[in-house]
Structure 1
Amino acid sequence: MKKPIITLFTALMLACAVNSFADDGDKLANKLTSVSIPAGRGIAMQAAINNIGHAKGTVAVDVVMDRKGNVLVAIANPKRSTVRDKVIISKLEAAVLAMKFDKNKKAPAKQAGTLTYTFK
C-alpha cells in the first residue's frame, strides 16, 4: 500500500513542477510541455533551452536514463515532432543529454521516456 501512495505522490509532484515550469515559461519562447517518464522518476535538473534558437512547433525527445539519473541517450523523434531545423534539434538533444533525473536504485539498468518541448 505504501508504494502506490509514493508513486502517486511523485507523479503529482512532477505534474505540479511541470505545470509551474510551463506557467512561468509563458514569458519564454521555448518550454517543456509534456513529460512521459517512468514512475518514481522526477526531473532533478532541467535542460537549458532558452538560447537554442527560434522555431515554431514541437520537438519530442526520446531519452534513456540509468539508475543514477544520468541521461545516456537523447534523440529527437521525427514522427512526433514538427520542428525540422537540424541545428535546433541538435542543440536540444545536447541540452537534454545534460539533464539529470532522480536516482532510483531499484530501477532497471536503463529506462526510457519522452520529453516534448514547444517552441513559439
Structure 2
Amino acid sequence: MSKNILWIILIMSLLSGCMGTPKTNVEIEWSDTIMWDGIKYNHMNKDENNVTEKELGEKLGEIKFSVVGSKEEDNSNYQLKDKEATKVAKGTEVYLLKGVKLKEKIVVNHKIYIAE
C-alpha cells in the first residue's frame, strides 16, 4: 500500500507542476506612430529631421498621451486615440507641412509623418 501512496504523491506533484501557466515578459516594439484627426501617421525614415521653420505650416495642437513610458507600453492590444503617439512625448507640438494637406502628412519634432 505504501507504493500506491508514493505513486499518488508522485503523480500529484507532476500534475501540480503542469497546472500553472508561466508568465513571460514580452517586450513590444512600437512603431513611431501618431493618431491625429482620425488618421494614423507613421514616421518612416529615422534620419529625416530636416524640416525647417520656414516649411512649417499651421500649428495643429499638442500630443496628449504617449504610449512608450506609460502603463500601456506593454499592452499589445492598445489602440491609439486622437492626439496620441506611440513614441512622441506628451506636450510635443504637431504642425502642418506648408503646401501639404492634413490627410497626407504632418510634422512633429521637424520630422515628417506620412498618413497610412
Tell me which interval the TM-score lies in, with the shorter structure as reference length.
under 0.3
Q: Which has the higher contact order (CA 8 A, sep 6+)?
A: 1
* Greater share of residues in helix: 1
TM-score (norm: length of structure 1): 0.24
